[in-house]
Amino acid sequence: MKYIDAIDIKGKKVIFRVDFNVPLDGNLKITDDTRIRAVLPTLNHALDENARIIIMSHLGRPKGKPVPQFSLAPVAKRLSRFLDKQVTLAADCRGPDVKKLIEDMSPGDVVMLENLRFHPEEEKNDDGFAMELASFADIFIDDAFGNAHRSHASNVGITRFVKTCAAGFLIKKELNYLIRAVDKPARPFVAIIGGSKVSGKLEALVNLVEKVDKLIIGGGMAFTFLKALGYEVGRSIVEDDLIDKALQIMETARKLGVKLYLPVDCVIAENMSADAENKIVPVQEMNGNWMGLDIGPATITLFTEALGNAKTIIWNGPMGVFEIDAFGRGTAAMVHSVANSYALTIVGGGDTDVAVHKTGESDKITFISTGGGATLELLEGKVLPAIKALEECGGRA
């Protein structure tokens, strides 16, 4: 796979797939522009080369039709400020008017196509749609790591119709950190896996248990493991059909000498609401009618001690329902513990990213991935479709 700095883009029309799927508030104001700032090195390199820059992205889930609230207009405005340059937003991402707008571009101009997902052909990886996108430019650059686990027209299909493809600096950075951390980590290597369900992260757990020195399991998924060990878990989230898998993962850890950590206490409540009565109990004393919604203080101490000698830490998934303050202390405490460790620290996953920023410790984390699903699939040991497409395109060139 080639990267943007290894190909000649001087003065050429270059179409970029980026991930500008940023959160917006009720007034359509951007609340977090991390994903925009993440690709600035790639776009600034293209500006330095005086390329004609065409940008494409999706935003939200408009389900294949134009929805005004998912317009990329706020993104174009914010990017104009970052680049200190006018970013022209096209009325659509296809059609003769867009073609004419691009044909009239001068070197150094920046055009952003309107939301790709306003057309159902994008998510269907339609060849006709991919071919039309490819016709706009001489070169395709993919820097949308957050979408790399999808096979869509704008990141996979398009590679079949352009002669030159490459990845941007963000994808390079993501792959360098994530692949190196999993395949060649400085040890001890610790993985922290949280979130609500085992099913969403089962393959990651199966892959990681054979690579790490310590595996810390928190969040709702921990209750499937605790139930597998015979504990009462009340009305906590449990996937009964995965209890055998949980037992297999624990047995694999035992055989390999991997230290596996589960909560020893938790915050329980009658229901998942901010005003619900809650209390802290050891896992042996769970109330059969209540549910576990966060890790407790003894678990925070245990997990923090487990990180004490770590050299590499990967974290995916919160320790509880952190959106509610009463059940967010465990996740916040783990953010502080990870941030203040002496390890190389990598955070991946949308919820974990939000938790880190909410706690104000993002500057102390070595690397925060921009991809939730893509990060998880790399941790599962999978090949990402968009990365494979870039490699195959580079092989044809």
* 338-379: pLDDT as tens digits: 999 999 999 986 688 888 888 889 899 999 998 888 988 888
Domains 4-172+384-396 and 187-342 share a fold: yes
H helices of 184-268, in order, are 202-208, 222-228, 243-256
**Residue 80, Cβ neighbours under 10 Å: how many?**
16
Residue 198: the pLDDT is 83
pLDDT in tens, the chain (397 residues): 899 999 999 999 999 999 999 999 989 999 889 899 999 999 999 999 999 999 999 999 999 999 999 999 999 999 999 999 999 999 999 999 999 999 999 999 999 999 999 999 999 999 999 999 999 999 999 999 999 999 999 999 999 999 999 999 999 999 999 988 888 999 999 999 998 888 888 899 999 999 999 999 999 999 999 999 999 999 999 999 999 999 999 999 999 999 999 999 999 999 999 999 999 999 999 989 999 999 999 999 999 999 999 999 999 999 999 989 999 999 999 999 999 999 999 998 668 888 888 888 989 999 999 888 898 888 888 899 999 999 999 665 5
311 given a catalytic annotation: no
Quick one: the chain helix, strand, coil %, rounded to 5?
Answer: 40, 15, 40
The single residue of 160, 373, 381, 388 carrying the catalytic annotation is 373
Domain ranges of the chain: 4-172+384-396, 187-342
Candidates 3.40.50.1260, 3.40.50.11540, 3.40.50.10490, 3.40.190.10; CATH matching 4-172+384-396? 3.40.50.1260
pTM of the model: 0.89
187 given a catalytic annotation: no
197 given a catalytic annotation: yes
373 given a catalytic annotation: yes
Residue-by-residue DSSP string for 105-165: --TT-EEE---GGGSTTTTTT-HHHHHHHHTT-SEEEE--GGGTTS--TTTTGGGGS-SEE
The single residue of 85, 160, 197, 259 carrying the catalytic annotation is 197
User: What CATH architecture does domain 187-342 belong to?
Assistant: 3-Layer(aba) Sandwich (3.40)
CB neighbour class for 48 (10 Å; exposed up to 12, middle 13-18, buried from 19): exposed
Beta carbons within 8 Å of 74's beta carbon, 6+ residues apart: 24, 28, 29, 30
